[in-house]
């Protein structure tokens, strides 16, 4: 967390966008998410590149196929997962807007895709 907030490259983003990184339970998650997306897009030159290649984060339940959700046989759980998916997608819209403010100087929007967002969120 401190490494992200104090990053010489993107640390200013967090202080310049306090409305987005407001002091809520999601604050740390959002800071780490933006930081990981930034690092992930750097590829081999990122300090974190070996880590990104060494792990397979799997998939969040929010992205499970309908067939898997139906197998749960728990309507309340399925409803919660679907609701989380909607929130996840809404967060992506906000994150994408934030990234676009700092594009192309800091974020390459061709690289910072929904798939990278999903992967970084799953890593967290």
| Global confidence as pTM | 0.88
Alpha-carbon gap, residue 2 to 6, rounded angstroms:
6
Distance CA 91, CA 45 (A): 27
pLDDT at 78: 87
114 pLDDT above the threshold of 90: yes
pLDDT at 56: 87
Per-residue pLDDT tens digits for 9-66: 999 999 999 888 876 678 889 999 999 999 999 999 999 999 999 998 888 888 888 8
CA 92/CA 8 separation, integer angstroms: 24
The residue written with tokens 């998410």 in the block is 33
Residue of 84, 83, 91 lying closest to 120 (CA atoms) = 91
pLDDT of amino acid 58: 85
Tokens of 63: 């992205």
Q: Torsions phi, psi of 62, nearest 5?
A: -60, -15
């Amino acid at each position: 967390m401190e490494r992200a907030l104090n990053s010489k490259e993107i640390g200013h983003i967090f202080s310049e966008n306090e409305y987005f990184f407001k002091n809520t339970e999601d604050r740390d998650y959002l800071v780490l998410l933006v930081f990981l997306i930034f690092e992930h897009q750097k590829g081999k030159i990122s300090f974190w590149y070996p880590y990104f290649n060494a792990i397979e984060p799997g998939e969040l339940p929010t992205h499970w196929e309908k067939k898997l959700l139906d197998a749960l046989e728990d309507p309340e759980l399925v409803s919660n997962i679907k609701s989380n998916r909607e929130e996840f997608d809404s967060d992506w819209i906000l994150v994408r807007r934030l990234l676009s403010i700092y594009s192309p100087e800091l974020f390459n929007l061709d690289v910072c895709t929904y798939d990278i967002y999903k992967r970084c969120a799953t890593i967290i």
